[in-house]
Structure formats: C-alpha cells, structure tokens
Amino acid sequence: MTERDASVTEDELHAYVDGALPGDRIAAVEARLASDPEAASRVAAWRAQATSIRANWERVVEEPVPERLRLEHIARRASGTWRKIAAAAVIAFAIGAAGGWYGHEYSSFGRNDQIARAIADAAIEAHRLYINEVRHPIEVRAGEAHLLPWLSRRVGSTVRAPDLAPEGLKLMGGRLLPGTPGPTALIMYEGSGGERVTITSTRAAREGATAFHWKSAGEIGALAWVEGGVAFVVAGPADRARLDRVARRVYEAYETAANERR
C-alpha cells in the first residue's frame, strides 16, 4: 500500500459510490481499489445495494399521482373549507349584528337557518379532513388542562367538551381552525369502533337561535344549530338517531352551564 493509498478514507469510498467524490480524488480512490481487493469488494457490494434499491422503487415515480395527492385537491381542502366556514360566520355575524341593532331578535330566524345549513356543509368537510388524519387529527390532547381555556380564549366564547361517554364516545382533544371574524374550535371524540365525532363551534350571530338542521353527505352526517351567538355543528357517521342524541347532549351541556351563570 503506498502512502497515497493509505490516505483514502472510508468516507471517500462512500463518496466514490455515491458520485460525491471531488474529481481530484478519483484517481487516488481507484488506485486504492486496484490494490485492495477487500475494499474493492465492499465498494462493489455497496454499488449493488444502491442498484437494487433504485430498481425496487424507481417505478413509483412513473405511477400517475393519485387524485388525493394532487396539490390543488389538497389546497382546496386545506383552505377552501375554512374560507367557507369563515364566509358563513361572517354572514351569521352580520345578520346577528343587524338583528341585535334593530332589536328584533327573531327577525333573522329564516336566515339563521340558512346559516346553520351552510356551516354544516363546511363542518362536514372539516370533519372529513381531520377524521382522515390518523396521526395528528388534534393539536391538543384531552388530558392537557389548557385545551378548553385555550380554545375558549381564541374563539371568544366558552368552548366545552361535554361528557359523551353515554354515547360510547371518548374525548380525544381539539384543534383550532382559522377563520373570520374569529377562529373555529374543533373538539374530537372517538368511539369504540374507531369512528370519530366532532363538535365545531364558531362565534356567529350575536342573537338568534335555530332548530337543529340535519345535513348528510355520503357516510357523514351533521346536525347544526345556532344558539346564543354561537354556531354549533356535530358531525359524525351518518347515524341520525345517534347524532341526534349527541347533539342534544352537547346542547344541554351548554344550556346547563349558561343557566348556572344566570
């Protein structure tokens, strides 16, 4: 082994295989390989590994990109949903403000119904987006004490996580979604079958209230209502009877709390 060969490092052998070796070192590495069969067989094995790895997965890049991975699809789902909720909330807010201004609390009843439906649409989309996120569907886990105070502060009205154990649902946690005039809180529950139910709440009309509105889209159903200036949507698997019970529990939890304050 000459002195020049000895100066060839292990790292340089890797760089040689990976095409990362500076041009002025190639001759030195090749001289080393010519004089050191052990190093040569290692380098050959590494090359063969790289070739197998590429051969095994190279074809993936030629596959057509599935629809769900197309950027416009993802962008639509990521921002479109919130824009819709935001738009619905703006309308709700405006109508609520007008209602309050004129002192006709219930004059906006009809329009509030429309708002509840629009918000339900957006919430169904939100529900779909986040229940499909298996790994990070929520930002703050249920056990963290700051979950509800944090969401309440950001949404600008008290956010609750009612006990839905009687419906077989366990609280997972929540996340905050952007919106105008204010953000939306999303609280997620999980059932024993892995099914997920979400409650979203957004500051909406200052006044006014609506009945429950049922809306379903495929396998997902939602019940939406406006109460006390907040638009609520309960979304989950399209089992009307169950969602009805869930929505009533949510409604009652908020009502009870509101009555206690009075």
Partner 1 sequence: MSAVRRGLESLIPALRRFARALARDAETADDLVQDTLVRALRGEHLFHGGDLRTWTFTILLNLDRNRRRGLARRPILAVIEDVDPAGPPGTDGTGRDIERGLVLLPQEQREVLLLVTLEGLSYREAAEVQGVPIGTVMSRLSRARTALRTHLEGQRPRLRQVK
Rule CB under 8 A: is residue 14 a binding residue for partner 1? yes
Return the structure tokens found at 68: 């769900």
How many whole angstroms separate alpha carbon 164 and alpha carbon 30? 70
Query: Judged by CB under 8 A, which of 6, 37, 61, 192 binds partner 1?
Result: 61
CB–CB of 200/89 below 8 Å? no
Rule CB under 8 A: is residue 37 a binding residue for partner 1? no
What's the min distance (Å) between Cβ of 132 and partner 1? 9
How many whole angstroms separate alpha carbon 137 and alpha carbon 125? 14
Query: Judged by CB under 8 A, which of 2, 4, 7, 20 binds partner 1?
Result: 20
CB–CB of 235/119 below 8 Å? no
How many whole angstroms separate alpha carbon 249 and alpha carbon 169? 12
How many whole angstroms separate alpha carbon 11 and alpha carbon 211? 71
Could you count the other beta carbons within 10 Å of the beta carbon of residue 239?
Answer: 15
Rule CB under 8 A: is residue 146 a binding residue for partner 1? no
Question: Mask 65-84, x = binds partner 1 (CB under 8 A)?
Answer: xx-xx-x--xx-xxx-----
CB–CB of 167/248 below 8 Å? no
Query: Judged by CB under 8 A, which of 1, 45, 165, 211 binds partner 1?
Result: 45
Rule CB under 8 A: is residue 53 a binding residue for partner 1? yes
What's the min distance (Å) between Cβ of 93 and partner 1? 25
* Cβ proximity to partner 1, 190 vs 227, nearer residue: 190
How many whole angstroms separate alpha carbon 54 and alpha carbon 46? 12
Rule CB under 8 A: is residue 135 a binding residue for partner 1? yes
Given the rule CB under 8 A, which residues bind partner 1?
A: 10-11, 14-15, 18, 20, 42, 45-46, 49-50, 52-58, 60-63, 65-66, 68-69, 71, 74-75, 77-79, 133-136
